[in-house]
Amino acid sequence: MNLSEKLLDRLFALADVRINPAEPRPGDIFVKSADWVWRAATGGNVVELGDAYIRGDWDCKDLTAFFGKLIDADLGKRVPNVFAYMYRLKAVLRNQQDMQLSRRVARHYDRSAEFYRLMLGPDPMIYTSAYPLPGDDLTLAQVRKIEKLAQRSALDPGMRILDIGCGWGATLSYLTSTFNLRGTGISNSTGHVQYATKHYSKPSRCEYLECDYRQIKGRYQRVISVEMIEAVGLANLLTYFGKVAEVLEPGGRFVLQAISCIDPRHSRNAWLERNIFPGGELATEDQMISAAQKAGLELIDKEAFPEKYAWTLGQWGDNLKHNKDVVVERFGETLYRIYLLYVAMCEAGFAKERTSVGQMVFVKS
């Protein structure tokens, strides 16, 4: 065992992770090259750890268990993370979700819809937490989530509904057709809007527009937004809720499904920000509620269900593994490993309740 391997062994022993064991347990890892270890141990641990996995320098049969052990040991707190400090400093020096920079996250969703279909499942193609009950498959669990949104929205036929961050359009299409609504979905992703318009747009019933949330016009009796607020940023929370209040009619309901961090220290993840969600930043539940109240929106109901997101991410990971040959052939080994690591990292975060997800219902007084 060379010096780098000894350092890695000592570092991960803090989290009860063994290196190259003869009899591996869930979460143990196999290291092919330890050249990255010094960089990880001396400042860039999250980014270097993830990048080393992408390069194939290490592997693990159960990535979710691995990240769960790191969370349990709070290893990120024990090892300084220079990259995390750099990303926080950037957020202070410049609004990372202003009108210009907010387009960066759209490029993530502009990737081929076929890739996401292989990960998310064929129908409905929804990139947010499902709401599974025992025995559900992913399709039914996603429909249950939409029905929860509908129930909390208290929908009546003929209502005008706005979906902020509409994704590929399936949620709004289901709501407008099932409850006889008139709907508008907005996204700043060209790929989202093109796909939604092609598959779900219906004249005088359901339309999809490419725009930033700050550009929304019109008046609506109901507004929903499902896991889009993570791209808004803490500096813009009041602007976001203020826009919702502006377009929502008096007495109207706003149903928000949002990912939140439990500890503000974990609002940003340097590796995820660089590889998956540029500019992504999580608020705490209290921060969101406070901003909503300042904008004139009253909280009347809420439910958290992090365990359901852990289940959803597990399903996406299983889909990726099942479709590995197709994903690698069409999109490359690097992208496959990036997303496999991403879903496992996030699954562990929700399973350990480092992060949460839930629905909140607000009323405009």
Tell me if 18 sits within 8 A of 306, measured CB to CB.
no
User: How far apart are the two ends of the chain, measured CA to CA in Å?
Assistant: 66
Q: How far, in whole angstroms, is CA 275 from its chain's centroid?
A: 13
Q: How far is CA 89 from the centre of its chain?
A: 22
Confidence at residue 90, expressed as pLDDT on a 0 to 100 scale: 46
CATH 3.40.50.10240 fits 103-364, yes or no: no
What tokens does 364 get?
A: 């405009």
247 contacts 186 by C-beta, under 8 angstroms: no
**CB contact set of 74 (below 8 Å; sequence gap of 6+):** none
| 117, two tokens | 């279909």
Q: What distance in Å separates the CA atoms of residue 226 and residue 131, rounded to the nearest whole number? A: 13
Q: How far apart are CA 178 and CA 156, in angstroms?
A: 11
How many other CB atoms are there within 10 angstroms of residue 262's CB atom?
16
pLDDT of residue 4: 67
pTM tops 0.75: yes
What is the pLDDT, as a whole number, of residue 110? 59
Per domain, the residue ranges of the chain are: 3-80, 103-364
- C-alpha dihedral, 217 to 180 to 156 to 362, nearest 10°: -40
Instruction: pLDDT tens for the chain, 365 residues: list them.
Output: 566 667 778 878 889 999 999 999 999 999 988 777 766 665 556 788 899 999 999 999 999 999 999 999 987 665 554 334 334 444 444 444 555 555 555 555 557 889 999 999 977 899 999 999 999 999 999 999 999 999 999 999 999 999 999 999 999 999 999 999 999 999 999 999 999 999 999 988 999 999 999 999 999 999 999 999 999 999 999 999 999 999 999 999 999 999 999 998 888 888 898 899 888 999 999 999 999 999 999 999 999 999 999 999 999 999 999 999 999 999 999 999 999 999 999 999 999 999 999 999 999 98
Q: How far is the C-alpha of 173 from the C-alpha of 175, rounded, in Å?
A: 6
